[in-house]
Chain A
Amino acid sequence: DAGVIQSPRHEVTEMGQEVTLRCKPISGHDYLFWYRQTMMRGLELLIYFNNNVPIDDSGMPEDRFSAKMPNASFSTLKIQPSEPRDSAVYFCASRPGTDPLSEQFFGPGTRLTVL
């Protein structure tokens, strides 16, 4: 299995531009998570989906952020308009089933820089 796939690995954009981050979870995994990692705030959960349905988006910082999961094999995190404070590494993770001990598998992350 290829693991969780994220694209792009690096994104540099200018303030005000729309940014779309993409994630392909591991096949068969029921849960998908989006995290943001910064030096100041560490790793924060932004949103997670169960069977393509958003379950908890309380970590989404503001309306500029939106996430979708149109099918079991694809999710996007969009920032519109982007701001310099959105610069961070964004991780996607997935895990199978309802076993609470099952491991979350993380993608390699997307490093976003907003100038």
Chain B
Amino acid sequence: AQTVTQSQPEMSVQEAETVTLSCTYDTSESDYYLFWYKQPPSRQMILVIRQEAYKQQNATENRFSVNFQKAAKSFSLKISDSQLGDAAMYFCAYRRGGGATNKLIFGTGTLLAVQP
């Protein structure tokens, strides 16, 4: 079974600095998709960034980028120029490809605090 591990329950970063959140996953599949979701105190789950496993190029969305290391099964999220609004719980998620399933498997989350 596929699993997603986020080994950092909490992280802290100074405003305007850069922070990296870790995520590893375990799968025997070669076709899959990876996501980072943000959950602020409002509880709303918001998609931050997504990556197809077959793409070698790391995805980027403005201040958010990923470091996707397929061989190491690692999918870390880098937040540059951190802002107070980035404070939230961040979840890494995995979905098998090939249309076989629509299940998102989530990690346990990393709570990010942004210090002014």
In angstroms, Cα B25 to Cα A65, docked, is 29
Contact for A108 among B33, B44, B102, B107, CB less than 8 A? B44
B53 to chain A, nearest CB (A): 11
- B43 near A108 (CB under 8 angstroms)? yes
Q: Does residue A93 face the partner (Cβ distance < 8 Å to B)?
A: yes
- A56 near B43 (CB under 8 angstroms)? no
In angstroms, Cα B17 to Cα A80, docked, is 49
Per DSSP, chain B at the interface is loop
B39 to chain A, nearest CB (A): 9
- A45 near B42 (CB under 8 angstroms)? no
In angstroms, Cα B103 to Cα A89, docked, is 18
Per DSSP, chain A at the interface is strand
Contact for A48 among B33, B43, B91, B102, CB less than 8 A? B102
A110: nearest chain-B partner, CB-CB: B43
Q: Which residues of B contact A50 (CB under 8 A)?
A: 102
- A45 near B104 (CB under 8 angstroms)? yes
- B103 near A45 (CB under 8 angstroms)? yes
Given A43-B91, A100-B97, A101-B50, A106 and B102 touching (CB < 8 A)?
A: no
Interface residues of B in 65-111 (CB under 8 A from A): 91, 95, 97, 99, 101-109
In angstroms, Cα B105 to Cα A48, docked, is 13
Q: Does residue A109 face the partner (Cβ distance < 8 Å to B)?
A: yes
Contact for B43 among A31, A93, A95, A109, CB less than 8 A? A109
Q: Which residues of B contact A91 (CB under 8 A)?
A: 45
- B33 near A101 (CB under 8 angstroms)? yes
A89 to chain B, nearest CB (A): 6
Contacts from B to A (Cβ < 8 Å)? 33, 42-47, 50, 52, 91, 95, 97, 99, 101-109
Residue pairs across A and B with Cβ atoms less than 8 A apart, 12 shown, are A31-B102, A33-B104, A42-B106, A45-B103, A100-B33, A101-B33, A101-B50, A103-B50, A106-B45, A108-B42, A108-B43, A109-B44
